[in-house]
């Protein structure tokens, strides 16, 4: 069997490795337009702030690993054509036939239509190492920045700039709070204080009217004034990179990602697609969504590897949109929908915001802020947001399964939690929040579903 991987990101690498782990000895060619592959792009900000010594530390394997696995890795090689009828691709001007192909073309930066955003003095950070290296060079030369977009990358880089000694750092978000896809406003406010205490100037619910140049400075025009800095970082999200798939005649979904079925096959059954470039779906309502997350990429890669090796019988279950991050001394972990997004979808939801503690303060406990969002129809959680210490990921991992499996809250609240005086409370803060939510549900006249 001959397999062509169009793109050599995490999804393609995981799919290739899964094939080998399952005993498949297919000829596998991986093509990448980049000079180097097999790195963790999520670690770029940690290099930029000095927590990791260099970009060499973000690589998880080297070229010898590909050779040992029997993969043919083609770097600096663009796939310019996929021909589904002839079952071949054109890469670097050469023709390569395939039995199965996998598209892993990732995402590209979304560039907002802002007057004056002409690329001069404006920079981006995606998964391309070359972009990160450019940004590293820029940071070494300047001391102030304007960040457009308050998503995870924008905020992580705001902290990185601060740690690198920047003076003025402005963050502008058109929506009403930071991390708008992950947090509701009252939870986002918990992070605002630490950010402002660090000297970050936040503008939420603010639209950029235009961008101008004033000498060596970039000037951003707002509705009620203007701000200036050495450069602009645009962090307004990404969109699926589907141009090659479109030229091949493959179907694109309404979200802009490559349409795939439950086995991650495209509209051509011999071509699969994985990662940022596909249109996935969530497990809460099966709504179509784009999910540019490393965990999503890796999971789709594993599913495709299994389906190619063992036959198309392993469906992809979808995503629960998990997120986590460390920002200005606070750890954030979320899963599922925010309350505001749930309501946009027309869900009848009930929520609770609970301020608890990880464990006893005298034994080192810290505050744990929790928001839970419940679908009243199913009486199962559709979202959770937790801010606290580095244990929040452990807590949310439990809720990933609960939300995905739609476990009724009356049952979920009965599951035991680990307890030690230095780790947790015997009455876990999350369970406490669930019990409050159950009380609210009953007080509204709802009949509690048995577990």
**pLDDT tens sequence across 158-180:** 999 999 999 999 999 999 999 99
Q: In the chain, pLDDT over 90 holds for what percent of residues?
A: 96
Say if residue 133's pLDDT is above 80. yes
pLDDT of residue 309: 98
Class at the top of the CATH hierarchy for domain 2-108+238-310: alpha beta
Say if residue 330's pLDDT is above 90. yes
pLDDT class of 423 with cuts at 50, 70, 90? confident
Say if residue 258's pLDDT is above 90. yes
Instruction: Provide the angle, in degrees to the nearest 10, between the axes of the packed helices 392-404 and 429-443.
Output: 40
Say if residue 451's pLDDT is above 80. no
CB atoms within 10 A of CB 414: 10
What is the rounded average pLDDT of the residues 417-430? 91
Q: Do domains 2-108+238-310 and 323-443 have the same CATH topology?
A: no
What is the rounded average pLDDT of the residues 376-382? 97
pLDDT of residue 449: 85
pLDDT class of 118 with cuts at 50, 70, 90? confident
Average pLDDT, rounded, for the chain: 96
Question: CATH topology for 323-443?
Answer: Enolase-like; domain 1 (3.30.390)
What 298-302 contacts at long range (C-beta under 8 Å, 24+ apart), as own/partner pairs, is 298/10, 298/11, 298/14, 300/11, 300/264, 300/274, 300/275, 301/10, 301/11, 301/12, 301/13, 301/14, 301/15, 301/18, 301/104, 301/274, 301/275, 302/14, 302/15, 302/18
What is the rounded average pLDDT of the residues 109-117? 94
- Are residues 105 and 118 in contact, defined by beta-carbon separation less than 8 angstroms? no
pLDDT of residue 303: 98
The residues pairing with 222 across neighbouring beta strands, listed in sequence order, are: 225
What is the rounded average pLDDT of the residues 80-101? 98
| CATH H-level superfamily of 122-234 | FAD/NAD(P)-binding domain (3.50.50.60)
pLDDT of residue 239: 97
pLDDT class of 190 with cuts at 50, 70, 90? very high
Say if residue 30's pLDDT is above 80. yes
Where are the chain's structural domains? 2-108+238-310, 122-234, 323-443
Say if residue 332's pLDDT is above 80. yes
């Amino acid at each position: 069997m001959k397999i062509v991987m169009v793109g050599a990101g995490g999804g393609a690498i995981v799919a290739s490795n899964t094939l080998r782990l399952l005993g498949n000895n297919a000829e596998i060619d991986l093509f990448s337009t980049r000079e180097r592959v097999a790195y963790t792009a999520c670690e770029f900000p940690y290099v930029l702030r000095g927590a990791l010594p260099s970009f060499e530390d973000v690589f998880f394997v080297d070229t010898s690993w590909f050779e040992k696995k029997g993969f043919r890795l083609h770097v600096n090689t663009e796939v310019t054509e996929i021909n589904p009828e002839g079952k071949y691709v054109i890469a670097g001007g050469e023709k390569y036939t395939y039995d199965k192909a996998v598209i892993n073309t990732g995402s590209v930066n979304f560039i907002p239509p802002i007057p004056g955003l002409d690329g001069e003095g404006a920079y981006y950070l995606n998964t391309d190492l070359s972009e990160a290296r450019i940004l590293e060079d820029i940071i070494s030369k300047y001391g102030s920045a304007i960040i457009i977009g308050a998503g995870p990358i924008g905020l992580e880089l705001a902290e990185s700039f601060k740690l690198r000694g920047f003076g003025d750092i402005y963050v502008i978000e058109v929506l009403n709070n930071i991390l708008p896809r992950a947090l509701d406003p009252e939870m986002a406010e918990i992070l605002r204080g630490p950010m402002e205490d660090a000297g970050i100037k936040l503008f939420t619910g603010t639209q950029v009217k235009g961008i101008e140049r004033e000498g060596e400075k970039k000037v951003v025009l707002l509705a009620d004034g203007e701000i200036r800095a050495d450069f602009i970082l645009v962090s307004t999200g990404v969109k699926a990179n589907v141009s090659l798939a479109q030229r091949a005649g493959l179907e694109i979904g309404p979200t802009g990602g490559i349409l795939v079925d439950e086995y991650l096959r495209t509209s051509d059954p011999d071509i699969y697609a994985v990662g940022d470039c596909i249109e996935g779906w969530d497990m809460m309502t099966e709504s179509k969504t784009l999910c540019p997350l490393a965990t999503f990429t890796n999971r789709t890669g594993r599913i495709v590897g299994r389906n190619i090796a063992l036959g198309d019988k392993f469906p992809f279950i979808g995503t629960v949109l998990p997120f986590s991050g460390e920002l200005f001394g606070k750890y954030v972990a979320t899963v599922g929908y925010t309350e505001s997004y749930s309501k946009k979808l027309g869900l009848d939801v009930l929520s609770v915001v609970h301020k608890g503690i990880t464990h006893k303060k005298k034994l080192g406990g810290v505050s744990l802020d929790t928001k839970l969002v419940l679908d009243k129809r199913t009486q199962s959680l559709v979202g959770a947001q937790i801010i606290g210490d580095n244990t929040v990921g452990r807590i949310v991992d439990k809720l990933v399964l609960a939300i995905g499996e739609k476990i009724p809250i009356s049952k979920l609240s009965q599951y035991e939690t680990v307890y030690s005086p230095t780790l947790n409370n015997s009455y876990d803060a999350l369970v406490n929040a669930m019990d409050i939510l159950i009380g609210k549900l009953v007080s509204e006249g709802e009949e509690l579903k048995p577990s």
